[in-house]
Structure 1
Amino acid sequence: MKKIIKGFVVFIVILAFALVTMFMISTDYYLVRPGSIEPLSELIVVEGSENISDGEFYLTTVNQTRANALVWLYGYFNPYVELVEREDVLPEDMEVDDYREMMNQYMEDSKNMSKVIALKRIGYDIEVKSDGIKVMEVPETSPANGILQEGDLITKVDGEEIPIAEEMVEKVKDRQIGDTVNLLFEREGEIYEKDIKTVESPNSPGSAALEIFVKTSGWTPVFPIDIEIDSGDIGGPSAGLMFALEIKNQLTDYDLTAGKKIAGTGTINMDEEVGSVGGVRHKMVAAESEGVRYFFAPKANEWIAHYVEEFYDDFDAVIVEDLDDALDFLEELREKK
């Protein structure tokens, strides 16, 4: 009996040591899983709004955790989460703090863009200007390496003034891989014009990219009414569509939600086009688990959206290419009510 107890104790000690060791060993992977859904009526306050909805719009998030060896093992055997290589989450050679700063800037751009779009929709004329688009980093793998430098200020893309960084990213995405993009940019007071060929985006297979990291410089839109958006520690541009819908809902004298729980994801640009995002699978799972009935997904993410909805009853993916698609669907819901 003593030998059995002693052997058991030794086993427990070895197991504990192994678990502690695995906990301390880092990997080059992130564990990606469903995050939260956030009711937008609680995050957005529009000055003078009296709209009270019976339903709710939600933004959705994913949870990304740097995987140690123990977490990696959990993710490897768990079919409901995803292991993603670091380079598919963080740009190569970019530090975590710099990446967070970039995502926070994209969130601020997304907030301002959604405000502009919603206000224009109800008749306000909003002027949108900026100093340009500032280059934050040019990875060695980028086709712009040796052409652009950190600190360059891009003022035109294919001869068109593009004031917002996210607008530039979306414009390049619309090109074919291998197409040439013409950039006009300023460096230390000098103006340069260069053509750069697009490559396939490492984070969005099938989409074109210049593989550079940029942020809007000096965009300070003036709004006629006060709109506060509390995004907390959520970063990135993927809530743009849902922000615009909630702001418009609060500025409209009827309930856009038609009394339904509606979540979604997707960037939005000044042409009101809805752009692709990552993590749609996990965002949909998070929404369905909270009883959401409808989920807006970008056209570019259509296949994964339809794939996920097949696993659930009473949960529908609504594919949208632009804001009109979303509003048309909401109008159909109101007519059926």
Structure 2
Amino acid sequence: MNNAYKKEKRKFIIILVSLAAALLISFVLSMCIGRYSVSIGDTFKYLFGQPIEDVSFKVLNNLRLPRTLVAICVGCSLAISGTIYQSIFNNKLVSPDILGVSSGASVGACLGILIGFSTGLVSLFAFVFGFITVLLTLLISKAFKNKSNLIIILCGLAVGGLMSSLVGLMKYLADNEMKLAEMTFWLLGDLSKVTINDFWIAFPVTLVGCIIAVILSWRMNIVSLGKKESKALGVNYNVTTIILIIVATILTAVSVSISGTIGWIGLVIPNLVRLLIGSDNKKVVPVSMLFGAVFMVLCDMLARSIAPNEIPLSVITGIIGTPLFLFSIFKRRKEIE
């Protein structure tokens, strides 16, 4: 028993350290690779404050650094949101959009683009509409006497469907080709316009959200058992669930408002992590943070470097995420049966 515990703990530490190293490596590669290549030497000189040629400095300082840092925040946030929602609803097929936050954010962003707002106001609209959509989902679910999690999920699907229809309507009304193209690219995920200001918005939210998720990770284990079991074990199910939903919603809303809609990360990463280390959220939460960050940085690097024109992020995450998700299903097929 003691040897098995030590073995599992050692495995967890090795995975955590390996992912931290992978994040550092992917960060450096992301700084170097793109349409304009920057040498590793110049990248390290820049990171340590040494002078480099003007063009390389501008590329690293104005484009690569903000974009890579935001990618880390977005990947981390979406992975944690997926982990939280899957634990709350005890359903491994749940993603961060289950309560309609991404669909609502899409409505806000498309409305902002249609009106002609600046990038900052479009992001603000996306965040506000995403949060309002989740509140709407929860309010509608309260109208049902049945308080099961399934009702909340079904209400989320219904509200999300309504928001998707509104997005379709606004795309139809966007007769200006530039606005339609901007909407489409936003809906498929895009980090090409991020600035260091976006990072300073995303970073504190991501940091606080991750800290809360780590602190409450043991409660997530208990909440996933159900209301009766939570009460028997001394955990307030309703309060814990509300706190976790708020954290996951804010993390997702902020991420989507900055990067646009990016699929698969919140669904695939938690499932792959559970495949590696089991279902204990005290381990799943920190590993998912790092895994999500690495995955997002690598996907963003591919999106801007493998084709003459930048590929939308959701295309890359979908191409990579689909086989990974199918692999996780295959490895756990006996549990599904």
More strand by share: 1
Give the number of the structure with larger relative contact order, counting CA–CA contacts within 8 Å between residues 6 or more apart.
2
Q: Verify same fold: TM over 0.5.
A: no
Higher helix proportion: 2
When normalised by structure 1's length, the TM-score is 0.29
| TM-score, normalization by structure 2 | 0.29
